[in-house]
Amino acid sequence: MSSMTKERISNKEEQGFNENEIFKTLSHQIRRNIIKYIGNTGTVTFSQIKNQIDSIDSPSLSYHLRNLQPLLMQDKSKYQLSSIGDAAFNLLRKTDQSIKISRYRKHFLYAYIITVICWISASTVIPIIINFDLGIWTIISVQIAISIISTINYIIIWQLRKRS
C-alpha cells in the first residue's frame, strides 16, 4: 500500500456495520463489479471506475460508491479496498471461481459421455465394415469411419468448450 492518507471508518462505525448491511451493499451487480475492479486493479480514480463500468453516469456511480463506503478507503480522488472490502473481494472471486469450476465439470461430463458414445459407435461400426471382405476398401472405410467419429466428437466438445 502507498503512503497516502486514508479515510478509514471509525471503530465505532465499523462495529455498527453488520453482516446484513455488507450483503445488502453487495446485492447490486454494479457494486460487485466495482469491488472486483478495484480488487483486481488496486488504487483507482473515479474516472477509471466510470470507464470500466459500462453505461453508468457520474451521479449513479457516486451513489454506488457512497453505498460501498465501508468497503472502500478514499484519499482525495483515489479509491482502494478497506479490510472489509478485501474480504468481500475474496468472497466474490471465490464465488466466480466456484461457478466456473461447476460449469467446467458439467461440460467435462458432457464431453466424456459424448466421447464414450462416439467410441462405442466406432467399435460397433468398424467390425461391421471389416466383416465385409473388401480388401483395400476395408482399410479406407475404417479410416473414414474413425475420422468421421473423431471429427463429430471434436466438434461437439469444441461447442461445449465455447459455452463455458
Dist. CA 37–CA 44, nearest whole Å: 9
Helix (H, G, I), strand (E, B) or coil at 13: helix
Rounded-to-integer distance, Cα 164 and Cα 105, Å: 10
Burial class (CB in 10 A: 0-12, 13-18, 19+), 73: buried
155 touches 113 (CB < 8 A) = no
| Residue % of the chain over a pLDDT of 90 | 16
Pick the CATH number of 11-81 from 3.40.190.150, 1.10.10.10, 3.30.470.10, 3.50.50.60: 1.10.10.10
Half-sphere exposure of 21 (CA within 13 A, CB side): 13
Widest distance between CA atoms in the chain: 88
Residue 59, pLDDT score: 92
The DSSP annotation for 41-108 comes to H-SEEHHHHHHHSTT--HHHHHHHHHHTGGGEEEETTEEEE-HHHHHHHHHHHHHHHHHHHHHHHHHH
Q: What is the pLDDT of residues 3-33, one digit of tens each?
A: 333 444 433 344 456 778 888 888 888 998 9
Gap between the Cα atoms of 114 and 121, Å rounded: 10
With bands split at pLDDT 50, 70 and 90, how would you rate the model's confidence at 75?
confident
More confident residue, 24 or 97: 24
Task: Please report, for the chain, how many H helices and E strands are present, in that order.
Answer: 7, 3
Q: Which residue type is seen at 152?
A: I
Residue bearing the bigger pLDDT, 132 or 121? 121
Model confidence band, residue 108 (pLDDT cutoffs 50, 70, 90): confident
